[in-house]
Amino acid sequence: MSRINLTSLRKMKAEQNKIAVLTAYDASFSHVLEQAGIDIILVGDSLGMVIQGQESTLPVSVEDMVYHTRNVVRGSEKAFVIADMPFMSYANPDQAIMNAARLMAEGGAQMVKLEGGAIVVDTVKQLVERGIPVCAHLGLLPQSVHRLGGYRVQGRDDEHAQQLINDAKILQDAGADILVLECVPADLGARVTKAVDIPVIGIGAGNDCDGQVLVLYDMLGITPGKRPRFSHDFLADAGAIPAAIANYVQDVKSGAFPSAEQQY
């Protein structure tokens, strides 16, 4: 069975078919996600918080990411697998190339994801020139949580909103093939999605994005603490994990998720 690829994902955007994405960190969940028809599995560095119990994603290592990516890839056959590049593993282009190569060659990822706007443009260009597909990540950047002063909605004022749209365009021009957009007002999510040709996957970025992603343990309602407003406990409704994940995929595809209460 061949995996979903960038051509099929671009076609989904062009044909306005929503892209369903969830995080996973092991082979068993990867298999369940795939059975439910997930398009993309993101091996997020959120594993630092939901698997390792850390306070942020910052302590996650390249080694951790390679290990979890390898397990996710083993559990799936069809989904497109993206692996996060952890904090400071892409501080310069050379370091980024070495670490991204590990995530792809040892982990088996089809794409790597890194956080940031103009500051990472050179790195994105160099990764893409070497044949490494890149997913950009804008809006709330969890690896910059201490600079941002917490996990807050981004792009609320005109200046920051415009900056974010400009960043999305320059990242696309640098060669990024997918953009994750986290925690921005829904109208800004819609503007960014319209401004670029690459698929925009939202998390707390409103219903008009080309697809949606959630942290798996948030949507199963098992992450300790308060659930983010943009998430929903699908397990509470469905009563079983495979049904919860199937409902999520269906709700993303139909546009039922996110609803008005799950947007900013």
- Of 42 and 174, the one with the shorter C-beta distance to ligand KIV is 42
Taking the C-alpha atoms of residue 127 and residue 136, their distance in angstroms, rounded to an integer, is 12
Positions 122 through 161 that interact with ligand KIV (CB under 6 A): none
Our finding on whether 213 is near ligand KIV (CB under 6 A) is yes
User: In sequence order, what are the beta bridge partners of 114?
Assistant: 136
Our finding on whether 99 is near ligand KIV (CB under 6 A) is no
Our finding on whether 263 is near ligand KIV (CB under 6 A) is no
- Token code pair at residue 25: 């960190």
- Of 36 and 140, the one with the shorter C-beta distance to ligand KIV is 140
> Residues 35-74 vs ligand KIV: string with x where CB under 6 A?
-------x-xxx----------------------------
Our finding on whether 22 is near ligand KIV (CB under 6 A) is no
> Residues 238-257 vs ligand KIV: string with x where CB under 6 A?
--------------------
Taking the C-alpha atoms of residue 117 and residue 180, their distance in angstroms, rounded to an integer, is 12
**CA-atom Rg of the chain in angstroms:** 17
Whether 182 is catalytic is yes
Using CB under 6 A, which of 112, 186, 203, 219 touches ligand KIV? Answer: 203
Under 8 Å between Cβ of 65 and 51: no
Pair type for strands 40-43 and 178-182: unpaired
The least CB distance from residue 82 to ligand KIV, in Å, is 9
Under 8 Å between Cβ of 229 and 209: no
CB atoms within 10 A of CB 69: 25
Is the N-terminal amide bond of 258 cis, ω within 30° of 0? yes
Our finding on whether 178 is near ligand KIV (CB under 6 A) is no
- Of 157 and 213, the one with the shorter C-beta distance to ligand KIV is 213
Taking the C-alpha atoms of residue 223 and residue 230, their distance in angstroms, rounded to an integer, is 14
Our finding on whether 180 is near ligand KIV (CB under 6 A) is yes
For the chain, the straight-line distance linking the first and the last C-alpha, in angstroms and rounded, comes to 39
Under 8 Å between Cβ of 111 and 177: yes
- Of 44 and 258, the one with the shorter C-beta distance to ligand KIV is 44
- Which residues of this protein are in contact with ligand KIV, per CB under 6 A? 23, 42, 44-46, 84, 180, 182, 203, 213, 215
Q: Kindly list the catalytic residues.
A: 182
